[in-house]
Structure 1
Amino acid sequence: MPKPFRHATVADHSQDRPDLVEADGSPTWITRGTNFVIAITRVESGTRLIARDVPDEHMILLPDVGATVTMGTGESRTMPGNHLVIVPPGDAEVVAAGSGLVVRCFSSRHAELLSLARNAAAFAERDAQLAPIEDWPAPPDGFQLRVYDLEAGIVENDKTRVYRSSNLMINILCERQVPRDTRGLSPHSHVDFEQGSITLKGVHIHYLRTPWVPDMSVWRPDEAVEVGSPSVTVIPPPIIHTTRNIGEGPALLVDLFCPPRADFAKRPGMIRNVADYPLPPNLVEN
């Protein structure tokens, strides 16, 4: 009998109880994929988020609140909201400068968080279809705190901003103020990697379709999953998917991948911080 395709896992933090309560009482929700783990915290001014002995780079997304990020080495940077921080391996502390959300994205090598993830049971057995974590080349000037202004370089009609490190790729869609046009959706699937879809503002519907195969016993009905903010939906291959925001007001969606996507990395102009991270040799055109 063929093995059924994996289901997407949905963690709607607007409804869920937190998985971890920080020292000041701030709630943190933790959701994992096979190769990544995402921690979202609703912070107040002064909230401290500490990560110890992180074995590789991780990302901190500050969609609406400023913060100071300090490494164990003492290196420190302070930035307002609407910034992305790429953090080198080691210890890191985030101190929030106001109220809002802080999103921290790690590879699954940061094992400390994996068992706390609300969907941990779904990943008890590794999916053989998924590519493993494979680091891309380190930056020529070495690992260091890198801070990116998400407004910088945006031009009219831009829909997204993509950044990557040596192990992660994040796709931060531009904020929408009106519902997505249902005549312009983008259903697609991935062959060998998961997508972590992070909803940070607004209400979204994820449309999920399991491909048909010759054995009808593994067919499944289409799904339309409505999620609030914040939330994380992990979509495995080869599930066909697309998403739209509904209702008026701001809507913000972010996608996370580990390892980075080769198709995005090879597309000219797609990666905003391409100058900081070289491509693997097999992706460099001769």
Structure 2
Amino acid sequence: MYGRDDLRTTLAPVSKAPAPTGFKHASYARFYEQAQQESDVQADSWYARGQTMIVAYSEVKEGATFLRTDQPDEYAIVLPDDDAEIAIEIAEGTQIASGRSVAFVPAGASKVTVRKGGRILRLFSTRADDLVALCSNAQDYAEPDPNVPPLAEWPAPVGGRKVRVYSGNVAPEQGRFGRIYRGQTIMVNFGDGRVGPRAADNLSPHHHDDFEQYSIALDGDYIHHLRWPWISDSTQWIEDDHARCAAPSVAVIPPPATHTSQGIGPGLNRLLDAFCPPRRDFSAKPGWVLNAADYPMPDPKDDAQ
């Protein structure tokens, strides 16, 4: 049940997932409590994963670089703040991402060079085996989630191989939910957050049948509330979870847990939600995906999601 005036009440059901026979616990990575997985004089980086996606969170200085020599599929880069700037280089050319922005980088070799320091998120599929090995919560996925199907890429973008950069400062619009961008493997919902605690009588508990939600806390303090359904096999029941995660952190919310996130900090509370692969229900809403013209949806007959 979504909260008052939540535009997600207009989403159409799209899943044909089978009834669950077992469940996965949520996984949390509180980067503020953990040592970095990679560190040098120019960048500190933390890694966490879910079943399908890896979140790399980095605090960087000018001159820091990130190389991918044999990246197996497209990945996303998010600059969550207005003061950062990066250059993204592939063989076909270089693109600049400046201020709040989302970029999608093709598979293969790429180089990211920081021109103005700040915070960077890089979002990869778990096909990037070298990065899977770095994840602080890797043990949580020693056994796969039985309710998440194998990752299937969406169609190739229009216009061939290049880096695509999109502004994260697009103005809000009546009837449009957030700022949603999709690539072949990753979808990002780039929100502004809210100042002050979220009203306890206006939360938005809901669930997803067959895909994870990655809720990345960029600012503030949150409680992630989760509840799993009861099935006939009571040995598979999981107790309710009310996990407190400040920023920076990642909560990997598994299907089909009912969940809602409650900002509790007195200042700005801001989440960025990501999904791998892109969501069909968000994509089916006209005008919600801001770069839909560049990234086609799969054929409706395709059950990849």
Calculate the TM-score normalised by the size of structure 1.
0.91
TM-aligned CA deviation for residue 159 of structure 1: 5.4
Aligned pairs for 1:1-286 (under 5 A) are 4-21=22-39, 23-24=40-41, 26-64=43-81, 65-73=83-91, 75-155=93-173, 160-282=178-300
Distance in 2 (CA, whole Å) between partners of 1:72 and 1:272 is 24
Which blocks of at least 5 consecutive residues in structure 2 are unaligned?
1-19
TM-aligned CA deviation for residue 164 of structure 1: 0.3
CA contact (8 A) 2:53 2:125 kept: yes
Distance in 2 (CA, whole Å) between partners of 1:133 and 1:96 is 30
| CA-to-aligned-CA distance 1:27-70 (integer Å, 9 cap, x gap) | 21101111111100111222222222112111100012422233
| CA-to-aligned-CA distance 1:160-186 (integer Å, 9 cap, x gap) | 111100111111222312222222211
Q: Counterpart of 1:40 in structure 2: which amino acid?
A: Y
Name which of structure 1's ranges 160-169 and 73-82 shifts more when overlaid on structure 2.
73-82
Name which of structure 1's ranges 28-37 and 50-59 shifts more when overlaid on structure 2.
50-59
- Cα 1:269–1:148, aligned 2, differ >3 Å: closer, same or farther? same
Name which of structure 1's ranges 151-160 and 233-242 shifts more when overlaid on structure 2.
151-160
Distance in 2 (CA, whole Å) between partners of 1:88 and 1:101 is 21
| CA-to-aligned-CA distance 1:102-142 (integer Å, 9 cap, x gap) | 00001111111001111111212222321211111111211
CA contact (8 A) 1:13 1:228 kept: no
Which blocks of at least 5 consecutive residues in structure 1 are unaligned?
none
CA contact (8 A) 1:63 1:82 kept: yes
Q: Report % sequence identity.
A: 37
Distance in 2 (CA, whole Å) between partners of 1:233 and 1:269 is 28
> In angstroms, what is the RMSD of aligned CA positions?
2.0
Distance in 2 (CA, whole Å) between partners of 1:283 and 1:260 is 16
TM-aligned CA deviation for residue 211 of structure 1: 1.3
Distance in 2 (CA, whole Å) between partners of 1:32 and 1:17 is 16
CA contact (8 A) 1:198 1:231 kept: yes
CA contact (8 A) 1:266 1:283 kept: no
Q: Counterpart of 1:209 in structure 2: which amino acid?
A: R
Q: Counterpart of 2:141 in structure 1: which amino acid?
A: F
Distance in 2 (CA, whole Å) between partners of 1:240 and 1:208 is 6
Distance in 1 (CA, whole Å) between partners of 2:90 and 2:286 is 36
- Cα 1:97–1:252, aligned 2, differ >3 Å: closer, same or farther? farther
Kindly tell me the number of residue pairs found equivalent between the two proteins: 282
Calculate the TM-score normalised by the size of structure 2.
0.86
